[in-house]
Amino acid sequence: MPLPPSSLSFAQAQAGGGTRELIDTLARTPLSKVVIFVVVLTVIRVAIYPYMAKTATGKRSMAYAWTRFFNEMLDAFIYAGVFVFMLIRPFGVQAFLIPSGSMWPALYVNDFIVANKAVYRYTDPKEGDIVVFRPPITARLNEDQVDAQGEMKVDFIKRCIGVPGDLIEMKEGVLYRNGNRVDEAYTAYSECTDTIPQLECQNFKMLTADEKKLITKTSFKIIKYKGAYIPLDFTDRDANSPRPEKAPTEEYEPYHVAAEFLIYDPDEERRAESLPAERIPKGKYLMMGDNRNNSFDGRGWGLVPREWIIGRAEFTWWPLPRIHLDR
C-alpha cells in the first residue's frame, strides 16, 4: 500500500552511520575539503623532502625507512585526491548509496551503484535510463533535505519516463507515451515487510494479483495550470487533493502531491482534471520510481531540469551478491 507522506520512499545519497555510510561519505566529500586535504599533505611532503634527499645511503636508519614509507603514503593520498576527486569524480563516475526502496526491485536498500557522469556530457537522458539527479525543491519531505540557500542538498535516483516533447499519461496505473501503451516490465506494486516500524522501509514483497486489485491505480498527466506546468494525480474521486479519498480496502491514501500543487477546491479539482495533457517542455524530464505505490516521484513533485541531472546508473557494485548492470 502507498506509504503516508512521512514514510514515502525516495532514493537519495546521504550519510549516516556504519561502514556503508562511511564509504558513501568519502565518495561525496566536498571538493573544497579535498583541496584542503591535498594542500596539507603536499606541504608535509615538501617539508620532509630535504631530509630524504640529504640522507646518504650508508646512513639510512630505521627512522629513514619509516619516513620513506610515510612519504610514499603521502604521495598515494595526494594522487588519489587529485585524480579521483578532482578528475574522475567530477567528470567520470561517482558512487551513490541507495537508502530506500523507491526503485525496488531494480535497486535494493543499501545497494551501492556507480553513476556514469560523463555520458550525459555528450548525450541526453533517454526513456528507461536510471538517472541520478538533483530534485526540485517541491520534492522535499523535510527541511533536513534543504540547504541554507533553500535548495535541495540530496540526490535522487529514479527511472526516466519522459523526455522533452513526450506526452506522458497514466490511466489507472497504465503508462502511455505519445498515445502508445508502454510495457513496463520493471515496475512493482509492493508492501513493506519490516516488522520494526521505521521512517524508511527496508524490505518489500510483491503484491499478489488479488492484492493488487484491491488498491487504487491512480491516473496522471502533466497539465498547464495557472500558467505553469504541474503534475496532476487523480482518481474518479478527486485530483491533487490534500486528502485523497481512500478505497475501503486501502490503508493509505492512493497518492501524495507536493504542497505547491495541491488543489483545495473540489470544483477546481474537476476543472484541472478536464484540462488536456501537455507534452513535456524543452529542457525538462519526468522521473518515476519503479516501486510505483511506494515512490514519491515526478507524479507528485513535477519535472526535473536538464542541468540538474548528474549521471546514469551503470551497475550495482555492492553488496557482492547484488552485483549487476542497472537497466
Give the three-state DSSP class for 241. coil
* Helix (H) or strand (E) run with residue 325 in it: strand 324-325
Q: Is 282 a catalytic residue?
A: no
* Helix (H) or strand (E) run with residue 122 in it: helix 119-122
- CA-to-CA dists, residue 288 to 109, 127, 187, 293, angstroms: 17, 11, 10, 11
Among 9, 100, 158, 221, which one carries the catalytic annotation? 158
Q: What is the secondary structure of 35-56 as a DSSP string? A: HHHHHHHHHHHHHHHHHHHHS-
Q: Is 32 a catalytic residue?
A: no
Q: How many CB atoms lie within 10 A of CB 94?
A: 22
Across 38-119, where does the E strand assignment appear? 93-98, 111-116
Q: Which grid cell sits at 290?
A: 519503479
Among 7, 9, 100, 102, which one carries the catalytic annotation? 102
Cβ-in-10-Å burial (0-12, 13-18, 19+) of 25 comes to middle
What sign does the dihedral 265-270-271-272 (CA atoms) show?
positive
Dmax of the chain from CA atoms? 92
Cis peptide before 50 (omega within 30 of 0): no
Q: What is the secondary structure of 283-321 as a DSSP string? A: TEEEEE-SBGGG---HHHH--EEGGGEEEEEEEEEESGG
Give the three-state DSSP class for 216. coil
Q: State the catalytic residues.
A: 102, 158
